[in-house]
Structures are given as structure tokens and as C-alpha cells.
Amino acid sequence: MELEVKRMIHNALVTHFTPKAQRLVASGLVEFASSNRYYVYPVVFEVQRRGRTWLCQCEHYSRYRFCEHILAVQIQEAQKT
């Protein structure tokens, strides 16, 4: 049951953050810095990947462990392939 609740919360967060993330990517505000690091503008947030874990310094990440900046990087990476 707990796993299903976590999935529902994650799906709700993805739904909430997707339009914001798509605008960041479409506006060219996601910059590749290195193999595991991106910068997301206009306010500079550093998004890092450590193994399978994504990290961001924004308030949403500290609250939800997920944010529009991470989703924007994931969208941009998916578009490259």
C-alpha cells in the first residue's frame, strides 16, 4: 500500500511540474555542464546526477525530492536520444 501511495504522489508531482519543465527546455534554459551536471536558468540551479539519484538545490527538491529542474534535465536528455 505504501508503495502505491508513493507512486501516486510522484505521478501528481510529475503532472504538476511537467508544463514548467517543458517551458524551461523550450526556452533553452537547460545547459549541459558535464556528464553528471546541468545548470538550469534563469535562476541558476545546479542539477546533479549521482548514480540513479538526481539532486537539485531548489526549494521544491528539498521539500519533495523532485522538482521542475530535474524533470527539465530528464526531458532534455530524452530528446537527445
Question: According to the model, what pLDDT value does residue 1 have?
Answer: 61
pTM: 0.87
User: What confidence tens digit (pLDDT) does each residue in 24-51 have?
Assistant: 999 999 999 998 999 999 999 999 999 9
> Is the model's pLDDT at 80 over the cut of 90?
no
Collapsing DSSP to helix, strand or coil, 55 comes out as strand
Residue 65 carries which DSSP code?
A: S
Number of domains in the chain: 1
The Cα 3–Cα 56 span in angstroms is 24
Q: In which domain, by residue range, is 59 found?
A: 2-80
